[in-house]
Amino acid sequence: MSTSDQFLKQQNEYIGLVDEIMQVRKRGERPLAYIRTYGCQQNVADSETIKGMLAQMGYDFTENIEEADFILFNTCAVREHAEDRVFGNVGAIKKLKKNHPTTLIALCGCMMEQQHIAQRIYQSFPFVGLVFGTHCLHKFPQLLYQSLLTGKRQFILNNDDLLVYEGMPKRRDGQFKGWLPIMYGCDNFCTYCIVPYVRGRERSRESKYVLKEARQLIESGYKDITLLGQNVNSYGKGLDENITFSRLLKMIDEIDGDYTLRFMTSHPKDCTKELIDTIAQSRHISTHLHLPFQSGSNRILKLMNRRYTREKYLDIVNYAKEKIPGLSLTSDIIVGFPGETEEDFEQTLSLVEEVGFTSLFTFIYSKRVGTPAAKMDDPTTAEEKSERFQRLLKLQEKVAAERCKSMVGTTQRVLFEEKSKKPGILNARTSGNIVVEAEADESNIGSFGNVAITEAGNWILKGKII
C-alpha cells in the first residue's frame, strides 16, 4: 500500500470517529455545516472535497450560518481585498459563537499558509478553533476529530507534504458543470504572486486518475468539464509517465459523450502550437482560450518574471485565431505593477485592442508580503493607477461590445444553465464562454441546444432556441 493510500485509510477511521461523536452529541440528528469559499476554482474544488468528507462524517449542509454546528471559510490570498473580506466576515461571526458556544469555527485555504495571517487570526479572533493550510486538506477528518474531542484550538500550517492524494471523497456543487483538478501548486514565481508560496511546488495527478474522474463525470451526465491547474500547460512535469498536457487532452477528448471540455489556466510561455492544433482537431474542447498576458509591455513582463514577450504572445494568439474558427480569447491583466509608466500602460491598451478579447479580468496590483515585487519601487500614486484602470475598463467595454455585435445573426451551440430572473428566459453559455439570454423552455436546463443570436449587449448575447 502506498503512503498516500495508508494515510487515507487512517483518515477514513477518523471519519467514522467524528460521525460517532456527532451522533452522540446531536442524539441521532444530523449536524449542520456551513462552508463559504473565496478565490479561484482551485478553492472551489477543494471545498467540494471537504464537503465530501463532511458528508461521510454524517454532516448535512446549510446556507444559514446561524444554525450551523461547523462553520468553515476557505480563504484566498491573491489580493489584499480578498483577505480584507475574510477578516471582515470572520469578525462578523463573533456574536454568533457567543449565542452558540458549541459551534466550531474553522478557517482554511491559501491565506492560512501565511504565518503572519495565522498569527493575526490567533491573536485577534480567539473564537476561531481550527486553522489549516492548503497542504493539510487530506488531514481534515483527523483535525476535525481532534478539535471536537479536545475542544482545544489547533493551528496547522506550513506543512510541506507534497504527495498527491487520490481517492478523497467529493460532493460536487454543480449537477452538470464539474471541476477536475489535474495538478496542484505552481513553480513559476511571477514576482507579484503569492500562489507558489501558499500552494507549494507544482505536482501533477497521474493521467489514469484524471481519466477515471473524467469518465465518471461524463457517465453521470456532466456536460461542462473544466480541467484545473495554475499552469495546465506544464502538466506532467515530474510524473514517471511520458505525458504532456496536449496528450492528456487528446486522451480525454477520445471519451465518447455529449460534453464540452475546458481548461484553466494556460500560461503563455508554455502554450505551444501543438496545444492549439489539439484544440482545433478535438471533438469536445471548447473554442475558448483563457490566456492571461498581465501586461503589454516587455519591460514590465520581464519585471514580472513572466518569461514571454508581447511578440511571442501575439504570435501564439494569431496562430490560435487562424486555426480555431470563432475562437474566444480572455485574459487577466494587472494595472499599476511597481514602476509601470504611462508608456507601459499604453502598451497594455494597444494589446487589448489588437487581440479583441471577449472579456477580461482586470486587477489593480496588490502588494503581497514575501513576494519580490513587494520590495520594488512603486512611485505611481493610487489615483493614477485607478485612472488607468478605468481607461482599461472603458476600452474593454468597447472591444467586447464590438465582438458581441459581430455574432448577431449567427447560430450558437449553447449549454442551457439556469432560469434567468426575466420570465421565459434561460441563461446559457456558448462554447466560447459567452453568456446568452435565450428564449427557451425550462426543460432545456442541463442540455445543449442551438440558439439564433438576435441581439448583443456589451458582454452578453440575446437569442432564441431553434
- Contact characters 214-243, ligand SF4, x per CB under 6 A: ----------------xx------------
* Binding window for ligand F3S (CB under 6 A); candidates: 73-81, 118-126, 320-328, 359-367: 73-81
Tell me: does residue 104 bind ligand SF4 (CB under 6 A). Answer: no
The residues, any chain, with a CB within 8 Å of residue 191's CB and separated by 6 or more, are 303, 304, 305, 371, 372, 373, 376
Which residues in 43-72 contact ligand F3S (CB under 6 A)? 43
- Contact characters 280-309, ligand SAH, x per CB under 6 A: ------------x-x---------------
Residue nearer to ligand SAH on the CB measure, 166 or 332: 332
Q: How far apart are CA 42 and CA 137, in angstroms?
A: 12
The residues, any chain, with a CB within 8 Å of residue 390's CB and separated by 6 or more, are none
Tell me: does residue 330 bind ligand SF4 (CB under 6 A). Answer: no
Residue 43: name its binding partner from ligand SAH, ligand SF4, ligand F3S, none (Cβ under 5 to 8 Å by kind): ligand F3S
Tell me: does residue 385 bind ligand SAH (CB under 6 A). Answer: no
Nearest in space to 277 (alpha carbons), one of 304, 303, 250: 250
Out of 12, 159, 188, 298, name the contact with ligand SF4 by CB under 6 A.
Answer: 188
Tell me: does residue 195 bind ligand F3S (CB under 6 A). Answer: yes
Name the residue number minimizing CB distance to ligand SAH.
332
Residue 79 main-chain phi, psi, to 5 deg = -140, 160
Residue nearer to ligand F3S on the CB measure, 42 or 246: 42
Tell me: does residue 378 bind ligand SAH (CB under 6 A). Answer: no
Residue nearer to ligand SAH on the CB measure, 61 or 363: 363
For helices 310-323 and 342-355, the axis angle rounded to 10 degrees is 10
Tell me: does residue 79 bind ligand SAH (CB under 6 A). Answer: yes
CB of residue 196 to ligand SF4, shortest distance in Å: 5
Residue 110: name its binding partner from ligand SAH, ligand SF4, ligand F3S, none (Cβ under 5 to 8 Å by kind): ligand F3S
Residue 196: name its binding partner from ligand F3S, ligand SF4, ligand SAH, none (Cβ under 5 to 8 Å by kind): ligand SF4
What angle (nearest 5°) sits at the alpha carbon of residue 430, between those of residues 425 and 434?
A: 85
CB of residue 191 to ligand SF4, shortest distance in Å: 9
Tell me the one-letter amino acid at 359: S
Residue 375 CB neighbour total at 10 angstroms: 11
Tell me: does residue 40 bind ligand F3S (CB under 6 A). Answer: yes
Out of 147, 230, 246, 380, name the contact with ligand SAH by CB under 6 A.
Answer: 230
Q: How far apart are CA 320 and CA 121, in angstroms?
A: 46
Tell me: does residue 165 bind ligand SAH (CB under 6 A). Answer: no
Tell me: does residue 358 bind ligand SF4 (CB under 6 A). Answer: no
Which residues in 252-291 contact ligand SF4 (CB under 6 A)? 267
Applying CB under 6 A, the site for ligand F3S has a residue count of 12
CB of residue 331 to ligand SF4, shortest distance in Å: 12
CB of residue 41 to ligand F3S, shortest distance in Å: 8
CB of residue 167 to ligand SF4, shortest distance in Å: 26
Tell me: does residue 110 bind ligand F3S (CB under 6 A). Answer: yes
Residue 309: name its binding partner from ligand SAH, ligand F3S, ligand SF4, none (Cβ under 5 to 8 Å by kind): none
CB of residue 365 to ligand F3S, shortest distance in Å: 15
Which residues in 93-152 contact ligand SAH (CB under 6 A)? none
Tell me: does residue 267 bind ligand SAH (CB under 6 A). Answer: yes
Q: How far apart are CA 424 and CA 185, in angstroms?
A: 43
Binding site for ligand SF4 (CB under 6 A): 186, 188-190, 193, 195-196, 230-231, 267
Judged by the rule CB under 6 A, the positions of this chain that interact with ligand SAH are 78-79, 192-193, 195, 230-231, 265, 267, 292, 294, 332, 334, 363, 365-366, 368
Q: Rule CB under 6 A: which residues touch ligand F3S?
A: 39-40, 42-43, 76-78, 110, 194-195, 198-199
